[in-house]
A and B are shown apart, each in its own frame.
Chain A
Amino acid sequence: MPFDIPRNTAATKRSFLISNPSVLWFMGLLGLFTIGVTVLSEGFGLGLISTNLVKILGMTLCLCLIAIAMDVVWGYCGILSLGHFAFFGLGGYAIGMWLMYARTEINIRESLGRGTIPPTELEVSEAVAAQIFGVVGSSELPLIWSFAGSLPFQLAMVVLVPGLLALVFGWLAFRSRVTGVYLSILTQAMTLALSLYLFQNDTGLRGNNGLSGLQNIPGALHVPQAVISMWFFWASAFALGAGYLLFAWVVSGKFGSVIRAIRDNEARVRFLGYNVEGYKLFVFTITAIVSGIAGALYYPQAGIINPAEIAPIASIYLAVWVAIGGRGRLYGAVIGAAFVSLLSSWLTGGGAPNIDLGFYRIVWTDWWLVLLGLGFVAVTLFFPKGMGGLFDYLVRKKP
Chain B
Amino acid sequence: MLRLMPRIATLCACLIALILVVPLRASAQIETPLQDALQTVQPLVASPSRATVPDMLAALIVADAPGTVAFLRAWSDREVYERPEDGLFFFAREGADRALVLIDIDTGEEIGVTSSREVNQIRPNAGVRREVGAALVQFELMNPDPARRIAALESIARSPDAEQAEALEIALEAEQDSAIALRMQRLLDLLNARFATETATRVDAIEGLRGDISTEARRALNQILQTRSDFGETLPEGTNVARVRVPGDDMALIAAYAVLADAGLVPERPGRNAIRDVLRANVVDGTVGGIPVHQLDTDEARRAAYLALQEAGTVAPLVTTADMEAAVAQYVFYDAYLEADPAVTGAARDALDSTRTRISVWQFLGISIDALSLASIFFLAAIGLAITFGVMRVINMAHGEFIMMGAYTGYVVQTVIPNYTTSLVIALPLAFAVTFAAGVLMERLVIRHLYTRPLETLLATFGISIALQQLAKNIFGTQARPLTAPDWLAGAIQVNDIVSVASIRVAIFVMAIGFLLMLLYILNRTRLGLEVRAVTQNPGMAASMGINPDRINMLTFGLGSGIAGVAGVAIGLVAQVTSEMGANYIVQSFMTVVVGGVGSVFGTLAGATLIGFLQKGIEWFNPANTLAAQTFMVLFIILFIQFRPKGIVALKGRAAGD
Contacts and interface: CB of A to CB of B under 8 A. Distances in A.
Interface of A: 80, 115-123, 169, 172-173, 175-178, 180-182, 184-186, 188-190, 192-193, 196-197, 199-200, 202, 312-313, 316, 319-320, 323, 366-370, 372-377, 380-381, 384
A117 B293 CA distance: 6
A373 B465 contact: yes
B459 A370 contact: no
Contact of A319 (B294, B459, B630): B459
B449 A381 contact: yes
B369 to A, nearest CB: 25
B635 A118 contact: no
Nearest to B598: A182
Contacts of B516: none
Nearest to A80: B455
A192 B466 contact: no
Contact of A323 (B288, B459, B583): B459
B279 interface: yes
Contacts of A177: 645
B463 A376 contact: yes
A199 B634 CA distance: 15
11 contacts: A176-B641, A180-B455, A182-B594, A192-B587, A196-B634, A320-B462, A367-B474, A372-B466, A373-B466, A377-B460, A380-B460
Interface string B628-645: 101100110111011101
Contact of A373 (B297, B464, B628, B639): B464
Contact of B641 (A117, A178, A366): A178
Interface in B460-474: 460, 462-471, 473-474
B454 interface: yes
Which residue among B459, B463, B594 has the maximum number of chain A CB atoms within 10 Å of its CB? B463
Contact of B638 (A118, A172, A316, A319): A172
B276 interface: yes
A173 B642 CA distance: 7
A190 B631 CA distance: 9
Contact of B470 (A80, A184, A367): A367
Interface of A is mostly: helix
A377 B446 contact: yes
Contact of B634 (A176, A189, A375, A384): A189
A193 B641 contact: no
B424 interface: no
Nearest to B299: A120
A186 B464 CA distance: 21
A182 B462 CA distance: 16
Contacts of B583: 313
A200 B628 contact: yes
A125 to B, nearest CB: 13
A184 to B, nearest CB: 6
Interface string B255-283: 00000000000000000100010011001
Contacts of A316: 462
A370 B635 contact: no
Given A176-B642, A178-B645, A185-B594, 13 more contacts: A117-B279, A172-B638, A172-B639, A176-B641, A197-B627, A199-B627, A369-B469, A370-B467, A370-B474, A373-B464, A374-B464, A376-B463, A381-B460
B137 to A, nearest CB: 46
A140 to B, nearest CB: 16
B466 A193 contact: no
B630 A116 contact: no
The winner among A190, A312, A369 for most chain B CB atoms within 10 A is A369
A189 B642 CA distance: 14
B: contact size bracket: 35 or more
A16 to B, nearest CB: 30
Given A200-B625, A319-B459, A118 B293 contact: yes
A247 to B, nearest CB: 21
B591 interface: yes
Interface in B419-477: 446, 449-450, 454-456, 458-460, 462-471, 473-474
Contacts of A119: 297
Contacts of B304: none
Contacts of B459: 319-320, 323, 376, 380
B283 A180 contact: no
B630 A122 contact: no
A376 B293 contact: no
B395 interface: yes
Nearest to B469: A369
B591 A373 contact: no
Contacts of A197: 627-628, 631
Given A367-B474, A372-B466, A373-B466, A181 B627 contact: no
Given A184-B455, A320-B459, A374 B395 contact: no
Contacts of A381: 446, 449-450, 460
Interface string B613-637: 0000000000001011011001101
B509 to A, nearest CB: 26
B590 interface: yes
Nearest to A377: B463
Nearest to A379: B463
Report which residue of A120, A175, A323, A384 has the largest number of chain B beta carbons within 10 angstroms of its beta carbon: A120
A241 B456 CA distance: 29
A3 B460 CA distance: 27
Interface string B22-38: 00000000000000000
Nearest to B294: A118
A185 B642 contact: no
Top 5 nearest A-B pairs by Cβ distance?
Answer: A373-B467, A376-B463, A373-B466, A369-B470, A193-B634
A202 B594 CA distance: 31
A312 B583 CA distance: 10
Given A196-B634, A320-B463, A366 B470 contact: yes
Given A118-B297, A181-B458, A374-B463, A186 B641 contact: yes
Contacts of A169: 638
A177 B645 CA distance: 8
A196 B587 CA distance: 13
Contact of A181 (B302, B455, B467): B455
A177 B646 CA distance: 11
Which of A115, A123, A173, A193 has the most B CB atoms < 10 Å from its CB? A193
A377 B442 CA distance: 11
Contacts of A122: 272, 299
A172 B645 CA distance: 11
A210 to B, nearest CB: 15
B296 interface: yes
B479 interface: no
Given A115-B280, A177-B645, A178-B645, A376 B454 contact: no
A264 B639 CA distance: 28
B298 interface: yes
